[in-house]
Amino acid sequence: MFTAGRGRLVALGAVVVGAAIALSGCASSDPLANGGAGGSSTEAKATLIVGSQDYYSNEIIAEIYAQALEDGGYTVDRQFRIGQREVYLPEITASKIDVFPEYTGSLLQALDPKAAGGTKEVVYEALKAALPTGVSVLNEADASDGNSWTVTQALADKYSLTDIASLKNVTEKLYVGGNSELQTRPYGPKALESKYGIKIAGFKAVEDGGGPLTVKALVDNQIQLTNIYTADPNIKTNNLVALSDPDGLFFPDNVVPVVSKKVDTAAADILNKVSAALTADDLISLNSESVNDQKSAPSIATAWLTSKGLLK
């Protein structure tokens, strides 16, 4: 006879067995610890935390760093898509993150808003000086992904737009579109008005970081001016024009790994090799694979590292 009491006991038993199985999975020791998968090296390499911005291109670079380090025997804890600089910069300076791909000029301006610009070497040296103790930068790469004021080819042709100052020629209403924090940046619409005397009709927030909504708004002429990153493959695909910046409104933004004290010489060597191999064209094609071919960051990273012979 199947009484209510029996049924309850069976249910309780099932819950206990299920919980035991689940908890045993949680409690098992990390299989990668204690010199893991058959390495001949006897030293235990540290676990490094690699972070990235909430930007797909930055995530690809971070994944490249992570895979290169893993290939060198390190255990990597990936903490990608952390957010904007205001969010992760305190984490880097508190050394809670060990490796983070950054851009020289933007990071310098974030650390020292009054910094003077210059060539990429000047900015790199200034950045080294501006970093807090415990944080350092390794070699910068040739690849850069800076900000730019971008317009459509049609607008550029109509008003003969070549550099940022030539925006003064525009007689129609100029709406700036982009992430809302663009309004607070030192190169933002306020700088256009104060430095170049360009009349901005208004700001339209589009919160996708120069992504498809922003590009579509620019192409459809709902906004006339926006900030598109220079390594964005959309510039070529949609026939956009990134206005040249002879006055250095934007600082050069070369890709550079920001590292904490935990990163030893061997790890630094690995990252420097990656930086040496990363050219500007490389970065654009990496981005293109993500945006146009919809490939995932890990597969793009593996393909690139293999093509450069950086994976053992």
Please select the residue that binds other proteins; options are 120, 168, 216, 308, rule is CB under 8 A.
216
Tokens 């199985």 correspond to what residue? 21
Determine, following the binding rule CB under 8 A, whether residue 158 of this chain makes contact with other proteins: no
CA distance 103 to 107: 6
DSSP state, residue 184: G
Shortest Cβ distance from residue 68 to other proteins (Å)? 31
Determine, following the binding rule CB under 8 A, whether residue 217 of this chain makes contact with other proteins: yes
Closer to other proteins by CB, 192 or 301: give it.
192
How many binding residues for other proteins (CB under 8 A)? Answer: 22
Closer to other proteins by CB, 17 or 213: give it.
213
Closer to other proteins by CB, 196 or 203: give it.
203
Sites for other proteins among residues 4-63 (CB under 8 A): none
Estimate the share of the chain in helix, then strand, then coil, as percent rounded to the nearest 5. 45, 15, 40
Helical segments of 148-196, H only: 153-159, 189-196
Determine, following the binding rule CB under 8 A, whether residue 91 of this chain makes contact with other proteins: no
Shortest Cβ distance from residue 249 to other proteins (Å)? 20
Closer to other proteins by CB, 101 or 209: give it.
209
Provide CB contacts within 8 A for 303, sequence distance 6+. Answer: 289
CA distance 199 to 190: 10
Shortest Cβ distance from residue 250 to other proteins (Å)? 19
Determine, following the binding rule CB under 8 A, whether residue 290 of this chain makes contact with other proteins: no
CA distance 79 to 203: 33
Stretch that binds other proteins, among 99-107, 125-133, 166-174, 211-219 (CB under 8 A): 211-219
**Residue in 128, 122, 86, 151 with CA at minimum distance from that of residue 251:** 122
State the binding string over 180-209 for other proteins (x if CB under 8 A, else -). Answer: xx-xx-----------------x-xxxxx-
Question: How does 31-67 read in b/e, with b if 16+ C-beta sit within 10 Å?
Answer: eeeeeeeeeeeeeebeebbbbbbebbbbbbbbbbbbb
Which residues of this protein are in contact with other proteins, per CB under 8 A? 84, 86-87, 177, 179-181, 183-184, 202, 204-208, 212-213, 216-217, 220, 222-223
